[in-house]
Chains A and B, each alone.
Chain A
Amino acid sequence: MIQLQNVSKAFGENLVLKDLNLHVASGRILGLLGGNGAGKTTTLNLILGFLKPDSGTVSISGECAYIPENVALYPELTGLENLRAFTAYAGRDLSDAEASALLDRVGLAQEARNRRLGSYSKGMRQRIAIAIALARQVKVFLLDEPTTGLDPAAVQELARLLRQLAAEGAAILLTTHDLWHLSIDSDEVAILHRGTVVDHFEMTGQSVSQLSERYLRVK
């Protein structure tokens, strides 16, 4: 569960978030939609604890996993080694079998696992990042623009994976510009504009064009 209550955050004179309220329940995927400067990344940074709110409260159930827009891991390590390294940073030592099972789960091809990361596509790096999150057995996932630069097949695969995680009880918050991705991924959508949620609705029954219309109306 992710809960933001009356959260405000300013950088100097610039008020980025104003009385923001958001709630993502366990088993749900919330898509946070907004233009550049709307406050999406600041919201994620507040949830991650990288920033502190000026007012209001941020609470999450347990630890959260973060998958940034561009998953940057260590190019000198293989996919498998990156998984084990980042898991170790979180204080957990993965066995070979556990690491292998996690990479199976995120769909990383066998032959790619022992290759250094330099040859990985963005989608492959993203899978490693999700595997890292899964290894920590967290129930809160934050994804920042996860579909940027992914091909449609990779987007579909990501959507499948997120659905699976939600089905297992994870609360997922993703920020995106990608309306099509939102339409296939999200259970609900919140439209952020100038630091405030101006529209919040269930995705059920909404087409991409309807979503687009609601978004553009706000802008």
Chain B
Amino acid sequence: MKRLLQIEWLRLRRSSAAWWLLGGLFAAGLAAIFLGHAFQQAQQVEIADLDTQFEKQSQRHEHRYQEKGEHSGYWAYYSFFPVHQPPSPLAAVSWGLRDLAPFVTWVRLLGLEQQLYESGLGNPQLQALGQFDLTFVLGVLAPLVLLLLGHDVLSRDRGLGSLPLLAAQAGGLGRIFAARLLVRFAMVALVSVLLFCVATVVLDLPWSADSLAWLFIVLVGLLPWLGIAALIAARAQSVAASLSAAMTAFVVLVILMPAMLNLTLSTLFPVPEGLELTVRQRQVMHDSWDQPRQANYDSFLARQPEYRGPFPTVPEADFTWRWYYAMHENADHAVLGLATQHLKHLRQRHQWSQRLAWLSPPAMTQTMLCARAGTDLDAHLLHLETVRSFHQQLKKHFFPIIFAETILPPGATRSFPRFTSPAPAPAAPLSLWPPLLLAALLLPFARPRAVLS
């Protein structure tokens, strides 16, 4: 087998098409790495600047509201508090939702739901194959190169006329077939590993278990494509037929299947749009302006009696900050069911995306890589939870002051809640059985056909 592998390596080395394909893959990978570097840098710079921006805002507010003796509600109304989701080291190679969903949210004391979904959120997990990150290059382009290198390992001989001689020499084509595919797989895997090594240097990726798991997923993710290439190569009767089959398989698995899965899951688990939540919440807010204020205030106090304090009533004719924030709370409460349903359906859809991703190897690889990099929907939902939790902190800090009609003391901004980056969530256990199972299902059917069939 060693000698066969050497011969196939020599033949591949002499093939200009192979050099173009592998070189193109490497060049695309380099571009993706440098784009990933710029992408991550931009996010890190933005996150690093948050404290400075917040400090500037605090100084302005001290001057504007405290010195002028403005009500604390007024101060809180114009204060924005940054909550961010720091990128994991692997986010530069698996952007996931980080360029679609917000990674920084400036939270105010107002109703939360409208703030969470102002940017809107779909579920592009299965369709987001267009980001030019290293995940795209190694999860989509590398399989394409493997298909192009491997689809004709026998049909080319058939076209050339060397197949009968080859078969007569070898007695059977199995070992030659295996050696040819193995060499091509090894070359694509080698380019993938090289790109990963470049990424570790350029992006300063740590040599951690997560990083190695990421690479391992890439390599295992190529196995189903090896199975597909083998299946096509074993059965096609001509180069034109094998190329057509390879391109059809690629288009179906990379474009059609993810789109169909997305459509199916969208139908099965309709997710109310974030915008709808925002609009509903705003509507409740707007309606409240025309409703009896005390009734609104009472309904708030019924849920949160701790803020009753010395002021259990609000005037119907005059504006008060207590009533205003209570109105926001009521609006949040009114859409609570919708918000819970929204998150539940998003999670369900994401879980089903992960379960069904094995129907599309690139979606499967991308899903696994983004999960490892902490850039998938789970990570974004965690960010939303973080924002929600910080919003609670804000309320706990400001509501006692506002509902007690207290003026903020000088230097009050120093005691304002500050968001601190959460410790990264531990990655889920690595499960590689879907791609391995897919490859194991395909490879047994990839037996080279008899020469004259």
Contact = CB atoms under 8 A, between A and B. Distances in A.
A165 to B, nearest CB: 17
Interface of B: 3-4, 7, 10-11, 14-15, 157, 160-162, 164-171, 176, 450-452
B169 A136 contact: yes
B420 to A, nearest CB: 61
Contacts of B4: 88-89
Contact of B15 (A51, A72, A76): A76
A90 B3 contact: no
Given A77-B11, A77-B14, A45 B160 contact: no
A208 interface: no
Given A66-B168, A86-B165, 9 more contacts: A67-B165, A76-B14, A77-B11, A77-B14, A85-B10, A88-B7, A89-B7, A90-B171, A132-B165
A4 interface: no
A50 B15 contact: no
Contact of B169 (A50, A93, A132): A132
Contacts of B168: 48, 64-66
Contacts of A86: 165-166, 169
A159 interface: no
A81 B8 CA distance: 11
Contacts of B451: 50
List 4 A-B pairs, minimum CB-CB distance, nearest first.
A72-B161, A76-B14, A66-B168, A72-B162
Interface of A: 45, 48, 50-51, 63-68, 70-74, 76-77, 81, 84-91, 93, 129, 132, 136
Contact of B450 (A50, A64, A68, A70): A50
Most buried by A among B14, B160, B168, B170: B168
A85 B452 CA distance: 23
B98 to A, nearest CB: 45
A145 to B, nearest CB: 13
A89 B176 contact: yes
A48 B451 CA distance: 11
14 contacts: A45-B452, A63-B171, A68-B161, A68-B165, A71-B165, A74-B11, A76-B11, A85-B10, A86-B169, A89-B176, A90-B171, A91-B170, A93-B3, A132-B169
A89 B4 CA distance: 7
Given A45-B452, A50-B452, A73 B164 contact: no
